[in-house]
Copies of this chain bind each other. A is one copy, B any other.
């Protein structure tokens, strides 16, 4: 047995022979096994914990005997005494290989650990943060070789960590010499790696070994709300989340009114830029306070947003985005100092990354959805819809991905609806209508009780019942359709036609009463004919966009549908399909990705490789501009009707009943010939 001991690492399966006495960390590094270390094997950081396995391993063809690793040494004993080492664990930099051994690297000892996401439809995140801590011993200065301390730091990082090029902003540079001397020529540096080159930037420096954690902010800058997730850059876990209203709302509710504000008011764009940056800065301060960490520990921020928010965040007047040809000032991702965005409640040297925009109407938020849902890796043809004031639509698979945006208008967000309101406490968010009695029941945001359940009145006493939000109006209209209150042209029947007094006449059309709060001093909440027309316009636009992309690929069907966006998370797939918002697929093939844009931001935050990947993906995406595509108009008109009991939504059959009713409303709209869909 003159052979060197065999070392097998699990779960990677990497193996090799090493001279007896080789530290496990050294073996791992030589084999390219993913074993973490901040201190580089000095027994300080404890990141390189491993678990030796003993016994027979027929699969690996080895028998591991006791004593395969060296005895616990003083470093491990001290660490166990002071901090506690889990049973069976060893420090990889201390334990030496003595004979054949199988070594397990637990997930928390892997740099590129998987962050498992809960929903089955969601991909895991592989950690690959741009900013990491490194402990180095720097050569002391030598009068005969008078290099700068910074150059010797660079040399140490090159030798110990293989890092080629470093730079440091002046304020960090000015702290280098005291830190080196206080740390007795040992310092921990936070290094940020660019996603386009191997250039590393020193963001911070501490004397000796720094125990702290680094955090990043994943921020979704929406037109209405801004949501930020403070994320641990080692574990990928979200430590704290916070949201604020986008203060730009005072300049205009929707994107186009903000663009108009900028066009009409000199300095208007700068005003909006200031507003959003101030809000972001406050949000950063609040979230750090909530998590109980120091601003200094937040070393990165990643932003996703639509193109108008993108330009305003960067201080670029969005006026060109308000008119054809909707030219972006810059489409590629932007890396810059967070300070350039006036963010003061982060580490002073913190970096910011803004995802690329796909097109003038399809922004960094859509790029983030693409990063989260990875249509370019999908085996089957997936349609991804991010529903908002504009719907961003992605369609594709491994072979090709297309994107467009569709002007759905704000109906899906409860705007331009007679009793519509934002999703806020008091808003009706769920609706059911009994097909027999035509009586509704509903739930409001802020309570888990249905309106016909005991205690509902008490539960909603503080908020009241104030209106109906986006998901509520979709359910209401779909339920009205299923209950036979609305026909496939979208007409509401009269009380006589529907057999319920809740069907009230409003001029030449009708409206359906969901809730009468007059007695309690609240509003009467109705779904009017106008509301249904607004929903029809919105859903036609959404459907037409999807159809346009399907035409471009040359298919009549997709394999699955993903609803993204905070709103998408609340839409019931059944109701969406009853309205014909999305193409016909089996209902179990419709999933919600939740806030996929926010998830994409978090992925980009946790993985520098993902930043490069999303740039590549976005470049490869084929953009379709709905505004100049005649077929979009055709599809839009054709999609106006609601699905019928049979064709063209066969997947609804057996799931829901769509009554084959047809109402006439006194020679009004209902009398116009029914447009037939192209596929009928």
Contact = CB atoms under 8 A, between A and B. Distances in A.
A151 B330 contact: yes
A332 interface: yes
A331 B625 contact: no
B625 A329 contact: no
Nearest to A321: B177
Nearest to A313: B170
A328 B623 CA distance: 53
B336 A170 contact: yes
A87 B362 CA distance: 57
Contact of A329 (B142, B148, B320): B148
B143 A174 contact: no
B174 A329 contact: yes
B141 A315 contact: no
A143 B328 contact: no
A144 B329 CA distance: 16
Interface in A283-315: 314-315
A108 interface: no
A170 B144 CA distance: 44
A147 interface: yes
Contacts of A340: 169-170
A571 to B, nearest CB: 28
A342 to B, nearest CB: 11
A20 interface: no
Contact of A146 (B141, B148, B328): B328
A330 B625 contact: no
A31 to B, nearest CB: 34
A359 interface: yes
A627 interface: yes
Contacts of A359: 143, 146
A315 B149 contact: no
Interface string A613-624: 000000000010
Contacts of A329: 148-150, 173-174, 176-177
Interface residues of A, number: 46
A663 interface: no
Interface string A317-336: 10110001111111110001
Given A174-B315, A314-B170, A325-B141, A332 B148 contact: yes
Nearest to A335: B167
Q: Which of A141, A177, A331 has the most CB of B within 10 A?
A: A177
B326 A146 contact: yes
A316 interface: yes
Contacts of A332: 148, 150-151
A142 B331 CA distance: 13
A522 interface: no
A440 interface: no
A328 B625 contact: no
A655 interface: no
A265 B327 CA distance: 55
A360 interface: yes
B148 A331 contact: yes
Contacts of A67: none
Contact of A327 (B144, B148, B325, B336): B148
A7 to B, nearest CB: 41
B326 A148 contact: no
A178 B329 CA distance: 10
A16 interface: no
B143 A326 contact: yes
B625 A146 contact: yes
Given A170-B314, A315-B171, A628 B331 contact: no
A71 to B, nearest CB: 42
A99 B325 CA distance: 48
A146 to B, nearest CB: 4
A169 B360 CA distance: 21
A357 interface: yes
A177 B144 CA distance: 54
Contacts of A627: 143
Interface in A357-388: 357-360, 362
Given A148-B357, A149-B327, A314 B177 contact: no
A140 B324 CA distance: 12
A327 B174 CA distance: 13
A663 to B, nearest CB: 41
Contacts of A142: 325
What are the 3 tightest A-B residue pairs by CB atom distance, in nearest-first order? A148-B331, A146-B359, A141-B327
5 contacts: A140-B325, A149-B329, A150-B332, A170-B315, A177-B319
